[in-house]
Copies of this chain bind each other. A is one copy, B any other.
Amino acid sequence: MIKPYLKQALATAAVLLALLSPAPAFAQRQATWIWYPGDYEIWLGNQMQNRRTERGSFFPVFWRMDSHYALIDFHQDFDLKQAEEVELRAEGQYNVKLDGKPLTGAPQRLTVPAGKHRLNIKVYNQAQVPAVFVRGKTIASDGAWLVTFEDKEWIDASGKTSDQSGTTWLTAGSWNFNDPQALPSAFKLKTEPQRAASVSCTPTGQVVDFGRETFGYVRLHGLRGKGQVALYFGESREEAMATETCETLDRLDVDQTQKADRLTTLSKAFRYVNIRPEAGVSFDSVSMLYEFSPVVQRGKFRSSDDQLNQIWDVAAYTMHLNTREFFIDGIKRDRWIWSGDAYQSYLMNYYLYFDTPTVNRTLFAQRGKDPVTSHINTIMDYTFYWFMGIYDAYQYTGDKKVIQQLYPRMQSLMAYCLARRNANGLLEGLAGDWIFIDWADGLSKKGEVSFEQLLFCRSLETMALCANLMEDQAGAAQYQQLATELKAKIFATYWDASKQALVHSRVNGQPTANVTRYANMFSIFFGYLSPEQQQQVKQSVLLNPEVAKITTPYMRFYELEALCALGEQPYVLKEMKSYWGGMLQLGATSFWEEYDPSKQGAEHYAMYGRPFGKSLCHAWGASPIYLLGKYYLGVKPLTPGYATYVVEPNLGGLQWMEGAVPTPQGDIAVAASPKQLKVKGAVGTGTLRFRSRSKPSCKGAKIRAKGNGQYEMQLEKGREYVVTYQALTK
């Protein structure tokens, strides 16, 4: 009854095996801890996501938490010129087989003889993730090793072992754990001490201001006495002072006669901490231990507009705070991996860190394991963002290996979606499906919502792309056909020629008259509209004040992206300055979950019916990073991994701008003014595209006129190009 899916899974396994190239035998390789792909990510995700508290109570997720496989077999084949001693470590109880023969005990060193040999290590660990580290002169545990959770190593009554022909192997997962002594389970984010910016005394204790939004552990110095210290955390001063309604708090039990320093046990988000010791407890001073992921900020942006520069800086800091073990939504409240939020972080990441491991970890942790029993985070749209995240990951990184590892889970998640289509072949919310779209008052989730179908269609295109990569031709054809049919159905169902827009939904077989921005703006950058339709949608929806406004940075991300894709950079620049600049004017030191300029004072902090429910540091608030990198500096890959790319600077009214965009192999630096463009790319082959009033020039490069003031120039890797031109704007 689950025949097609299983057949596909088997086909996939076969394809994967065919794709795996043999390990290079004599190359010097970096040994690293390895595990079953996704297992460490799921395990670490459980740890991280279960650190949420609400006013001191544990607050776990409401979707299924999966676990690692408790028993894993790792193996690799070698062809050694000479015998080699290897050191071997495993996290868990393990055994070792050389050419199928068990070695005694659990050796930490062994010699692999010259010639062709196979090393198997089988590890059991219920509490942590089974992992191994192997290092010899040429032998090294890495992503070329093969792993399985079911090795089917039968013996018959005569003692003969089976050929394991029914075993499915995947390539191992890994990160950067290259030290055999540092167990993967012991991983912790980095920390560094930081001082308070200011301290004010209150009748009941102290309120400490760390100067800006931050994250970590509070340290009380010289703590002494007997009793409790209450710590009330605030992203705003108001929140820290509101001891009855602040979102997070901590209580330390103190019982010591000697002064000592003491850290809070759970890391928290805060700018202000209101510290109230009971009578009989005292402390000297307060500092903090800032906790962070040591990702490297490679993306850069500076311009003639100081406010815009500040927006970029605060956006980058907002991203930094929310880039942790995984890309999380916000640091104060959920600290969870929400797929819709993470999807935007991926895109921002490509213009800030290009930290592919954090993307991959987040994709694995979100997806968990089979069977699929609900949408990702229980939200239908969030399932689709997951697929779209893989599409983008391949486009930006060109990394096929992670797709090999993810493809079986992509197939089963898509099978889940396909099985939930209604009689019209469309998706509507079934019991247990959360249709999210956006936080917006009165937004209808009823019936067949156009936005969901659009994301579904894009997800099917992602499946077709990945099926092709996996050489799953049958799958590719099937997914492509489904996507094509669905796209046609979307336009037949929702496109309203009189409104010049896609309508919001169809309920009981009738398209509604309601036009919202969501499906319309996505259809632009998905490339689903004709040029005429694009212009219609721009006027009738995007620039139409009568269509309900978007109040979350989350959906502003896409709204502004759509406008940028239509060349409206000057307009978007004004919008960014007004919206993100508006938060800065209110004193934001990081960008918020939601921002409604019409609200006043502490009203801004309320959400979810709670006075301080809103997150003031939300990853989705950082989208200027992405918009400025992709649509102003104008850098984007044309083929996977920046093998080819385009640079199409658009000043959008700025006098000058300069910056860098990271790629898998190095950065692409861009500087632009209305008179000069400077570009240098460390990767692939680029195309510089620009519009000039006069004939441009560039020493040693050939500029092709494309007509209508448009020019193109090829960019070779590693060369700096300086173009003299006269910017032509619309």
Q: Does A64 contact B (CB under 8 A)?
A: yes
| CB closest chain-B residue, reference A606 | B159
Q: Does A62 contact B (CB under 8 A)?
A: yes
| CA gap between A412 and B415 in the complex, in Å | 16
Q: Does A26 contact B (CB under 8 A)?
A: no
| CA gap between A69 and B42 in the complex, in Å | 12
Q: Does A543 contact B (CB under 8 A)?
A: no
Q: Are A149 and B64 in contact (CB under 8 A)?
A: yes
| CA gap between A260 and B104 in the complex, in Å | 28
Q: Does A71 contact B (CB under 8 A)?
A: yes
Q: How many residues of A contact B (CB 8 A)?
A: 81
B residues within 8 A CB of A610? 159
**What are the interface flags for A123-167 relative to B under an 8 Å C-beta threshold, 1 for contact and 0 otherwise?**
010110000000000000000000001111111111110100111
Q: List A39-88 residues whose CB lies under 8 Å from chain B.
A: 43, 46-47, 50, 54-71
| CA gap between A419 and B2 in the complex, in Å | 6
Shortest CB-to-CB span from A230 to chain B, Å, is: 12
B residues within 8 A CB of A418? 1, 3
B residues within 8 A CB of A67? 67-70, 126
Q: Are A152 and B63 in contact (CB under 8 A)?
A: yes
Q: Which of A50, A57, A106, A373 has the largest count of B CB atoms less than 10 A from its CB?
A: A57
Stretch at the interface among A319-327, A426-434, A648-656, A674-682: A426-434
B residues within 8 A CB of A71? 46, 50, 60-61, 64-65
Q: Are B63 and A150 in contact (CB under 8 A)?
A: yes
| CA gap between A62 and B701 in the complex, in Å | 62
| CA gap between A94 and B159 in the complex, in Å | 49
Q: Are B433 and A150 in contact (CB under 8 A)?
A: no
Q: Does A177 contact B (CB under 8 A)?
A: no
Q: Are A373 and B104 in contact (CB under 8 A)?
A: no
Q: Are B154 and A378 in contact (CB under 8 A)?
A: yes
Selected from B66, B149, B152, B378, the residue in CB contact (under 8 A) with A378 is B152
Q: Does A374 contact B (CB under 8 A)?
A: yes
B residues within 8 A CB of A149? 64-65
B residues within 8 A CB of A293? none
B residues within 8 A CB of A6? 416, 419
Shortest CB-to-CB span from A243 to chain B, Å, is: 13
Q: List A389-443 residues whose CB lies under 8 Å from chain B.
A: 412, 415-416, 418-419, 430-434, 439
| CA gap between A608 and B160 in the complex, in Å | 8
Q: Does A370 contact B (CB under 8 A)?
A: yes
Q: Are B127 and A166 in contact (CB under 8 A)?
A: no
Shortest CB-to-CB span from A229 to chain B, Å, is: 16
B residues within 8 A CB of A3? 418-419
| CA gap between A518 and B527 in the complex, in Å | 64
Shortest CB-to-CB span from A227 to chain B, Å, is: 17
Q: Does A509 contact B (CB under 8 A)?
A: no
Q: A70-B65, A93-B50 are in contact. Are A166 and B430 (CB under 8 A)?
A: yes
**What are the interface flags for A198-241 relative to B under an 8 Å C-beta threshold, 1 for contact and 0 otherwise?**
00000000000000000000000000000000000000000000
Q: Are A105 and B2 in contact (CB under 8 A)?
A: no
| CB closest chain-B residue, reference A62 | B153
| CA gap between A246 and B46 in the complex, in Å | 43
Q: A152-B434, A431-B166, A432-B152 are in contact. Are A127 and B124 (CB under 8 A)?
A: no
Shortest CB-to-CB span from A367 to chain B, Å, is: 14
| CB closest chain-B residue, reference A1 | B415
Q: Which of A4, A65, A155 has the largest count of B CB atoms less than 10 A from its CB?
A: A65
Selected from B4, B62, B168, the residue in CB contact (under 8 A) with A1 is B4
B residues within 8 A CB of A538? none
Q: Are B57 and A104 in contact (CB under 8 A)?
A: yes
B residues within 8 A CB of A124? 46, 50, 58, 60, 65
Shortest CB-to-CB span from A366 to chain B, Å, is: 15
Q: Does A601 contact B (CB under 8 A)?
A: no
Q: List A164-200 residues whose CB lies under 8 Å from chain B.
A: 165-168
Q: Does A283 contact B (CB under 8 A)?
A: no
**What are the interface flags for A350-367 relative to B under an 8 Å C-beta threshold, 1 for contact and 0 otherwise?**
000000000000000000
Shortest CB-to-CB span from A41 to chain B, Å, is: 14
B residues within 8 A CB of A5? 1-2
| CB closest chain-B residue, reference A148 | B64
Q: Does A640 contact B (CB under 8 A)?
A: no
Q: List A576-619 residues whose CB lies under 8 Å from chain B.
A: 607-610, 613
B residues within 8 A CB of A68? 67
Q: Does A371 contact B (CB under 8 A)?
A: yes
| CA gap between A374 and B613 in the complex, in Å | 47
| CB closest chain-B residue, reference A429 | B166
* Chain A contacts to B: CB under 8 angstroms: 1-8, 10, 43, 46-47, 50, 54-71, 93-95, 102-106, 122, 124, 126-127, 149-160, 162, 165-168, 370-371, 373-374, 378, 412, 415-416, 418-419, 430-434, 439, 607-610, 613
Q: 14 more A-B contacts (CB under 8 A) besides A54-B102, A67-B126, A158-B609? A: A1-B5, A1-B419, A2-B2, A2-B412, A46-B124, A59-B102, A62-B151, A65-B71, A65-B124, A67-B68, A154-B434, A159-B608, A165-B432, A370-B371
5 of the cross-chain contacts (CB-CB < 8 Å) are A2-B4, A7-B419, A43-B126, A152-B434, A158-B609
